[in-house]
Amino acid sequence: MNVAFDHLVHLTERPEQAKTAFEQWGFTAIHGGRHPSWGTYNALCYFEHLRYIEWIGIADRQTARTCGNPLIAQLVADRQEGNGFSQFAFRTNNIEAVAAHLKRNGFTPIGPLPGSRERDDGKRLTWSMLFIEDDTDGAFRYPFFIQWGDGDDVRMNELAPLMRHPIGSVSLSSISIYTLGLQRAVNGYRRLFDLPKPDVGRDEAGAYAKLAVGGIAIRFYEADRRHPSTRPFSCRIVGVQEQRSIEIDGATYIVSRP
């Protein structure tokens, strides 16, 4: 399956405050826009290869609860646990082919579902989203897939200024995720993406299994049973000389050297 990592979703009460914090640390970040049919709004930080962080907030709870989009339903559920990373997406230029791949590998796709918002300059952005029907019994969560209305070449040209940061030439390189069944999660992702066996290691968060897909590394960890979670809990941004750990609204951003 030909996909590239697209974005990591960070649920927060105030996306504009996360944006301001990132700007203070030397990143370029922007206000995104509102999604009236979902009851949400966002702010964004772009990196090399069109990867980005989306800080998303719920502005209209009733609309968010009833809109029927699986991502927004996940955000509403996660909100009960608190702010932090929630989901992430892989980009494709053929979402119907991804849906067919999912079916061949034993998954049940949901969608494609349409999405859109209007930029400050008046341009309407459009996209399609594809989800996977949950068969994990709550042990882990799958990503979703997105196809943008504009091609990568058009988006690269438009977004190039936003991928330049005062702090340096930075890139989003990895995501760390909690699971309630490490081996099940690894096997599920291997089946989803047709991946080889994972690498294993240990870091400050504990033992992990690592898979590489779509240009990014995903590290899977067993969650603490006292505080069960299946959410991403940290990401790594590389390309700066001074390493630091940034905590924002329940999520950890590890900024490090290349």
Length of the chain as a residue count: 258
How much is the pLDDT for 228? 81
The string of pLDDT tens digits covering residues 28-48 is 999 988 899 999 999 999 999
The string of pLDDT tens digits covering residues 191-209 is 999 999 999 999 888 899 9
The string of pLDDT tens digits covering residues 121-172 is 778 889 999 999 988 888 999 999 999 999 999 999 999 999 999 998 999 9
pLDDT band at 224 (very low <50, low <70, confident <90, very high): confident
How much is the pLDDT for 39? 95
How much is the pLDDT for 255? 93
Residue ranges covered by each domain of the chain: 4-256
pLDDT for residue 257 is more than 90: no
Amino acid at 132: I
pLDDT band at 118 (very low <50, low <70, confident <90, very high): confident
Would you tell me how many other CB atoms lie within 10 Å of the CB of residue 195? Answer: 15
* This prediction's pTM: 0.95
pLDDT for residue 227 is more than 80: no
How much is the pLDDT for 129? 96
Stretch 100-119: mean pLDDT: 91
DSSP letters spanning 98-154: HHHHHHHTT--EEEEEEEEEE-TTSPEEEEEEEEE---STTS----EEEEESS-HHH
pLDDT band at 225 (very low <50, low <70, confident <90, very high): confident
pLDDT for residue 117 is more than 90: no
Q: Which of 93, 186, 107, 174 is nearest to 139 (CA)?
A: 186
- Beta carbons within 8 Å of 158's beta carbon, 6+ residues apart: 150
Lowest pLDDT segment from 45-54, 95-104, 113-122, 142-151: 113-122
Helix, strand, coil % over all residues of the chain, rounded to 5: 25, 40, 35
How large a percentage of the chain has pLDDT more than 70?
A: 99
How much is the pLDDT for 116? 84
> Topology of domain 4-256, per CATH?
2,3-Dihydroxybiphenyl 1,2-Dioxygenase; domain 1 (3.10.180)
Amino acid at 56: I
- The whole-chain average pLDDT of the chain stands at 93
Structure tokens, 8: 């990591």
Stretch 107-133: mean pLDDT: 89
Q: How far apart are CA 197 and CA 45, in angstroms?
A: 32
pLDDT band at 120 (very low <50, low <70, confident <90, very high): confident
